[in-house]
Chains A and B, each alone.
Chain A
Amino acid sequence: MRPLLALVLSILTAAVAGAVAVTAPQGTVEVFARGELVDVLALFQVAGIEVKFAPAAGSYSAVNADHQVQFTPGGTLAVVDGRLLALPGPVRTLDRHTVATVASAALLLAPFDWTLTASAAGLILSRGVTGDRLELSVVHAEDGATIVIAGSAKRPRVVATAGAVTLQYPGPIMLAQPWPPGPEVTSAEVQDVSLVLRLAAGLEVASSYPLEDPIRFVIKLGKPQAQGQVASARGSATVVLDPGHGGEDQGAKGPGGELEKDLTLQIARVAAAKLQGAGVTVRLTRDGDEAIALQHRTALANRLQAVVFVSIHANASVAKGAKGAETYFMNADASDQQAAASAARENATAGADTVELILWDLAHVANLNASARLARTLQERLNALQGIRDRGIRQAPFVVLTGATMPAALVEVGFLSNPDEATRLLTTEYQTELAIALADAVIEYLKTPSPATPTAPQP
């Protein structure tokens, strides 16, 4: 009899140890669990959220009327309403159950406004009605500040306006505690699903990005660039030249360790002098060996309402034979245009900030033709130089071009990774030839009236 008793007891112990009590609004249920891992599909069922397995994608899809979350057994990534979410631990298959750590399961349930928390008695699955509790902190820096926002795994859309930055979250939010006015962030308040931060005078958003472990969202604030060099001609339109890279970002390297950042600055300075001599107002995004965020470079041009933005670079390739000059302008693929148009329709009654954002998007698209003409003019002038290989004009989503609200192009004057071309690129004579070709192209572009140059919105 004793062996039978032991067997039954062990079965029962396994059954109890393999489950966790989940307290949900409708009552308490037992859900498969093993150590830190809990059956995530069972939790979705308790929450009343449908989960389907898509064999072709190898992933599960949890869907309700408003949200969709996809996750893959064996993976640590999930797609939440089209945005990627890194999970603290993988979703796994265990004893025919699809399991995840409580922390990962909580993140998968959060988009549906369900909160999963651990308690002494097991797990509590509750309907979140208060929204994510955002914790704000500001790190001061000599040239600006960094705002760190913890408490939400959702990635907000960042809308920078004069004197403020608005973070639009996909779901409800609240501030963990009231924000006392500080030297950089003068106020912080929640308006609907947006967090509005008012900034001290002289500060603007330089960049924003999410961080993990723990999950945070970071906004870097910077001071607008001090007035650059180069004289101005009375009342003329401003051209912004952007010497690529700078500071710690050295760019490509030549065979002898020569740096792209030095080459681009030299070419930009000579081109600026030539333009200035022709009566064109010119600003450089940097006039020294400084690291400047890509967004900051176009922000300067946007703020000055520049009519032309040219970013100057030297190239490098994994292919040793690659040589020649090429010019890029931004590509806005069809989906971007559709997104801008549909956003405009959906937000016809939205506030001024939203409208400004849409105008901004539309300005990008409207500038495509002018940017293509600018790129073509630059490339033709470079092609006229002796012995240069024409690599043509191309389109790619360069960060420094997508932020510009005026016709913009990025020139790659040649390959520092090609020893022969590098030798030529590093001579003062050739640098001057390249600079004058670029300046002449800008002058030619400015002289030819554009058929439909749109007005960029006020930054």
Chain B
Amino acid sequence: MKALRPLLAAGLLVIGVLAVIVLARMPRISAPPDDTPSGAPTPTATAGTIVLYFVADDGSLRREGREVPEVPAATPALIRLVLDELLTGSREGLTSPFPWATNVQAVLVDDQGTAYVDLSPPPAEDPPTGSNVETTLVYAIVDSITANCRGIERVQLLFGGREIETLGHLDLSRPIAAGADLVTP
């Protein structure tokens, strides 16, 4: 056993040197912030008011302010908060713009001022249709996001992770800018 010791030591040395070479050859990349799965740094959150748009009884959009305990500094987190509050529904008796059960599957922001929001797809059978259903859905989302997120000018909606051409009326293949046409005071 003792006779094997020098051999073992030499073997360990060779292995150790090899390990150092392998590790040294791996490209060094600055590690991303690893505090969240999205890689975003922890935002400094402060309480504040956000603005949401819901559907009034006449089919127009109406503004509703809402106090929230934390307004995230990072844009994707703020967009998620706005959409979550929109999905929670109005506290002032207004109607939800979402014609079917929806959740937010992904949010992505580019540096050209466009937010991409991926929603669960419409039901395959008998989806609600009508241009007012579509315009209130699209502009409640676009107007709510652009009203709260500085630097976001347009929103492209995706459904089930896919770009779609239309839900029947509006051209959704491109990002949509905020529209004040539907909003009533």
Q: Mark A37-48, 1 if CB is under 8 A from B, else 0.
A: 001011001100
- Asked if B95 CB lies within 8 Å of chain A CBs, one says yes
On chain A, the residues within 8 Å of B146 by CB distance are none
Instruction: Give per-residue flags for A246-271: 1 if the beta carbon is below 8 A from chain B beta carbons, else 0.
Output: 00011110000000100000000000
Find the A residue at minimum CB distance from B174: A397
**Contact digits for B144-185, partner A, Cβ 8 Å, 1 yes 0 no:** 000000000000101001110110111100101101011000
Which residues of the other chain, B, contact A249 by a CB distance below 8 angstroms? Answer: 168
- Choice from B112, B116, B128 contacting A318 with Cβ under 8 Å: B128
Say whether A316 contacts B177, CB under 8 Å. no
Q: Which residues of B18-52 are within 8 A (CB) of A?
A: 18-19, 22-23, 25-27, 29, 31-34, 36-41
- Chain A residue nearest to B59 in the complex (CB): A322
B131 within 8 A of A: yes
Q: Answer whether residue A162 sits at the interface, using C-beta atoms and an 8 A cutoff.
A: no
Q: Do B39 and A252 touch across chains, with their CB atoms under 8 A apart?
A: no
Instruction: Confirm or deny: A210 has a beta carbon within 8 angstroms of a beta carbon on chain B.
Output: yes
Cα separation A320 to B55 with both chains bound (whole Å):
10
Contact of B111 (CB < 8 Å), options: A45, A46, A70: A70
Are A398 and B37 in touch, CB under 8 angstroms? no
Are A59 and B161 interface neighbours, CB within 8 A? no
Min C-beta distance of A356 to chain B, whole Å: 21
Q: Which residues of B contact A19 (CB under 8 A)?
A: 22, 26
Q: B118: CB under 8 A from chain A?
A: yes
Among B39, B111, B114, contact of A73 (Cβ-Cβ < 8 Å): B39
Of A75, A207, A316, the residue contacting B129 (CB under 8 A) is: A316
B79 to chain A, nearest CB (A): 10
Query: Is A12 a contact partner of B18 (Cβ separation < 8 A)?
Result: yes
User: Are B131 and A412 in contact, with the CB atoms below 8 A?
Assistant: yes
How many residues belonging to A are interface residues under a CB distance threshold of 8 Å? 83
Q: Which residue in chain B gives the minimum CB-CB distance to A58? A: B40
Distance between A299 CB and nearest chain B CB, rounded to angstroms: 15
Using C-beta atoms within 8 Å of the partner chain, give the interface range for chain B: 35 or more
With A45-B27, A395-B181 already in contact, the answer to whether A321 and B112 are too (CB < 8 A) is no
Residues of the B chain whose Cβ atoms lie less than 8 Å from the Cβ of A53: 32-33, 39
> Is B123 on the interface with A (CB-CB < 8 A)?
no
A321 — which chain B residues lie within 8 A by C-beta? 57-59
Cβ of B108 within 8 Å of any chain A Cβ, yes or no, is yes
* A29 located at the interface, meaning its Cβ lies under 8 Å from any Cβ of chain B in the complex: yes
Contact present for B31 and A74 (CB under 8 Å)? no
| B residues less than 8 Å from A313 (CB atoms) | 131, 169
A73 to B181, CA, bound (A): 36
Q: At the interface, yes or no: B68 with Cβ under 8 Å from chain A?
A: no
The reply to whether B76 and A72 contact each other, CB–CB distance below 8 Å, is yes
B161 touching A209, Cβ below 8 Å: no
Asked whether B25 lies within 8 Å of A72 as measured between CB atoms, the reply is no
Q: How far is the CA of A316 from the CA of B5 in the complex (A)?
A: 85
Q: Measured between alpha carbons, how far is A31 from B26 in the docked complex, in Å?
A: 5
User: With an 8 A cutoff between CB atoms, is A447 at the interface?
Assistant: no
| A93 CA to B55 CA, complexed, in Å | 39
In the complex, the chain B residue whose C-beta lies closest to that of A87 is B161
B-side contacts of A60, CB under 8 Å:
32, 39
How many Å lie between the Cα of A51 and that of B57 in the bound state?
49
Contact of B171 among A29, A56, A399, A415 (CB under 8 A): A399
B111 pairs with A76, CB closer than 8 A? no
Residues in A with CB closer than 8 Å to B37 are 73-74, 92-93
- A319 with B38, Cβ < 8 A, contacts A1-B8, A415-B132 known: no
- Interface code A63-79, partner B: CB below 8 Å = 1, 0 otherwise? 00000001011111101
Q: In whole angstroms, what is the CA distance A30 to B22 when docked?
A: 7
A385 at the interface (CB under 8 A from B): no
Shortest Cβ distance from A366 into chain B, in angstroms?
Answer: 19
> Of all chain A residues, which has the CB nearest B13?
A8
Closest to A41 in B: B29
Q: In the bound complex, do residue B106 and residue A45 qualify as a contact, i.e. CB atoms below 8 Å apart?
A: no
Q: CA–CA, A396 to B143, complex, Å?
A: 14
- Nearest A residue to B163 via CB reads A84
Contacts A5-B8, A8-B16; is A97 near B59 (CB within 8 Å)?
no
- Bound Cα distance A323, B16 (Å): 79
Q: Which of A42, A260, A316, A415 meets B29, CB within 8 Å?
A: A42
A-B interface, 10 closest residue pairs, ranked by CB to CB distance from nearest: A316-B130, A322-B59, A58-B40, A73-B39, A321-B57, A96-B31, A317-B132, A317-B59, A74-B37, A252-B130
11 inter-chain pairs at a CB distance below 8 angstroms, sorted by A residue, are A29-B25, A31-B27, A39-B29, A58-B109, A77-B116, A77-B161, A86-B162, A319-B136, A321-B58, A394-B181, A398-B169
Question: Apart from A4-B12, A84-B116, what are 15 other A-B pairs with CB-CB below 8 Å?
Answer: A8-B16, A16-B22, A29-B26, A29-B27, A57-B74, A75-B106, A93-B34, A96-B31, A97-B31, A313-B131, A315-B59, A317-B59, A318-B97, A396-B135, A396-B181
